[in-house]
Amino acid sequence: MTAELRIAFDEQIFLRQRFGGVSRYICSLADTLNHRADTSARIFAPLHINQHLASMGLGVSNGHLIPLPNVFGRGPMIRAFRAISAYIGTRQRRSFSPHILHETYFTGQAPKALGAARILTVYDMIHELFPKQFGPTDKTTQYKYASVQRADRVICISESTRRDLIRLFGIAEDKAVVVHLGFDPLPEPEAHERLTFADQARPYVLYVGQRDGYKNFDGLLRAYAASSQLRENFRLMCFGGGSLSRKEQDLIAELGLDPNCVLQRAGDDGELASCYRNAALFVYPSLYEGFGIPPLEAMSLGCPVACSQTSSIPEVVGDAAVLFDPSDIDGIRHAMESVLESTSLSNTLVQKGQARSALFSWEECARKTVDVYRQVV
């Protein structure tokens, strides 16, 4: 019988994120590992501001948590709370005697490993590839480099991220290993939520998430405006990312679009699920992604997908989406029109998408992560 592995996750990300993809990944991975017969996983984050962690069972979270108001996640006080959390967490980890210390984010000061092997997950190389989008005081690249150098093995969430990491940080190829993320399918929308959208006069193309910088929402707006078919027959619906900015409103006016054709909506997972389920098409025009969960969410809910052919995105969607060059406005327009004009193509994408999204589970993510752990113990 294979010996049980004890895995400790440190406190770093849980005093940085109230919500967020990284903390959600760590919580989902730890929870899945704790349901395996060959692993025991604990998160050691005595002080935290994180909602994902707050909802975890006591077995995974070690049962010693003090949730702080979100205000403590900002400002000079946070350094003191991080130091306190790290100190207490180290003492708690010592009694757990982990085989693996899985660092949850990047720091210049190494968490004490206490004899455990160090594992680090790198999610993307956005700070390195798009440095102008971050202020001169941002130290993410410096801390990431230090964290990568001290790790015994680095997990990358896509082959694209792995290639970028090796190229930009110059690490040995055998130090970085690819483990794709799992994802949590959104709940099926309630009947009344479906009707709310189905009763709308015009169908819509859906965009989800933040819209600034490398997300390339400006490119999507320009492609939408360049198509008389889209302008006359479809709205553009944005979910999340905050209200449309003044800059975005100015661009909408500059492109001659009716402001009522570009809508912004926010809400919980149920409302997001309704947006996916009722959309004519989901579009993902990002210039770069370390992985990309939204296309999988759309596919799982029966929404056809058109997305960028850059970075990790083709790796995630396979042949279940129409791909385009995100720097080519006419290419984005043509991709959207090709799906919206063809019921046959749309139906094919829906079928392929549901099969594709089923490949990405937390169980599979945990299985491959355990393989990495066992390489270093």
Domain count across the chain: 2
Both 287 and 152 in one domain: the answer is no
Both 227 and 343 in one domain: the answer is yes
Both 231 and 248 in one domain: the answer is yes
In Å, the largest CA–CA distance within the chain is 68
| pLDDT the model gives residue 377 | 94
Which domain range does residue 286 map to?
191-357
Both 218 and 94 in one domain: the answer is no
Contact call for residues 222 and 328 (beta carbons, < 8 A) = no
Both 172 and 233 in one domain: the answer is no
- The angle that helices 21-33 and 362-376 make with each other, rounded to 10 degrees, is 80
Neighbours of 358 (CB within 10 A): 12
Both 24 and 129 in one domain: the answer is yes
Q: Which residue has the tokens 């690249």?
A: 141
Both 158 and 282 in one domain: the answer is no
d(CA 235, CA 280): 10
Both 222 and 280 in one domain: the answer is yes
Region of 20 (left: φ > 0; alpha: ψ -120 to 50; beta: rest) is: left
From the number of C-beta atoms within 10 Å of its C-beta (0-12, 13-18, 19+), residue 192 rates as exposed
d(CA 53, CA 58): 10
Both 251 and 332 in one domain: the answer is yes
| pLDDT the model gives residue 80 | 83
Both 296 and 157 in one domain: the answer is no
Both 163 and 245 in one domain: the answer is no
Note down pLDDT in tens along the chain; length 377 residues: 567 999 999 999 998 888 888 999 999 999 999 999 999 999 998 888 888 887 776 556 555 566 676 555 556 677 788 888 889 989 999 999 999 999 999 998 899 999 999 999 999 999 999 998 888 889 999 999 999 999 999 999 999 999 999 999 999 999 999 999 999 888 876 665 554 554 466 899 999 999 999 999 999 999 999 999 999 999 999 999 999 999 999 999 999 999 999 999 998 888 999 999 999 999 999 999 999 999 999 999 999 999 999 999 999 999 999 999 999 999 999 999 999 999 999 999 999 999 999 999 999 999 999 999 999 99
| pLDDT the model gives residue 71 | 54
Residues with Cβ within 8 Å of 159's Cβ and at least 6 positions away in sequence, in order, are 178, 312, 315
- Please say whether the dihedral angle defined by the alpha carbons of residues 137, 138, 140 and 145, taken in this order, is positive or negative: negative
Q: Which residue has the tokens 């998430």?
A: 209
Both 322 and 173 in one domain: the answer is no
The CATH number that applies at residue 130 is: 3.40.50.2000
The three-state secondary structure class of 139 is coil
